A and B are shown apart, each in its own frame.
Chain A
């Protein structure tokens, strides 16, 4: 599984890139991403609720934010 690199990007680019990347994987597959903007802690769960995709995990690892989303539809 490759990791989508969202480091250095600020709002709204992390979710714009996520939206693009999730379309490139199959339904049921997961997408892992890493970001540096703390805004993703609120935005990624909200994006998942809006789009209906599943948030598998979201963790702060030192100064980075790592998350995994499963494409639901």
Chain B
């Protein structure tokens, strides 16, 4: 394939930040709720299956989607308190509304299973299989006291910052914030 500088004049490349837009999707996953994380993975896997390159950037509550199941995060007193209240990964997260102390989570999961919707764990595995790049946010990780060496699932990249995400987003045709 021809390089961008062979096709586009310099003025055009400058206008689009020197980089052409690729058939690519970038998603910021800020939410850690069942419904929202699900939406992020459905769109991500759908895009990857449609031939798009996909990058997902997980920040704040969204990091629950990429943390290992059954671990406790945090080092300091507050960090461990946060880890305790926010414990559990993909399998433990509940819906953003009507969770009702876990009853909503149980009900939604059951209803989705009965209707044949892929579970969050299946969607995550599909995302890995389709080669979706999953990046944790360094700053949220520092604040919430995640340890990149032991708290994240194996398919997650090294932690990144806003500049890295913007680089990914600026070459993406579609960017979503969930």
Which chain A residues have a beta carbon within 8 Å of chain B's beta carbons?
8-13, 15-16, 18-20, 46-47, 50-52
| Distance A51 CA – B47 CA, assembled complex (angstroms) | 10
Beta-carbon contact of B116 and A12 below 8 Å: no
A-B CB pair tally, cutoff 8 Å: 42
> Contact check: which of B50, B115, B117, B123 meets A15 at CB < 8 Å?
B50
B37-58: CB near A (< 8 Å → 1, else 0) gives 0000011011011111000000
> Contact check: which of B42, B43, B49 meets A18 at CB < 8 Å?
B49
Q: How many residues of B contact A (CB 8 A)?
A: 16
> Contact check: which of B42, B48, B50 meets A11 at CB < 8 Å?
B42
| Distance A50 CA – B118 CA, assembled complex (angstroms) | 23
> Contact check: which of A10, A51, A52 meets B118 at CB < 8 Å?
A10
Residue on A nearest B118 in the bound complex, by CB: A13
4 interchain residue pairs of minimum CB distance? A19-B49, A12-B46, A50-B50, A16-B49
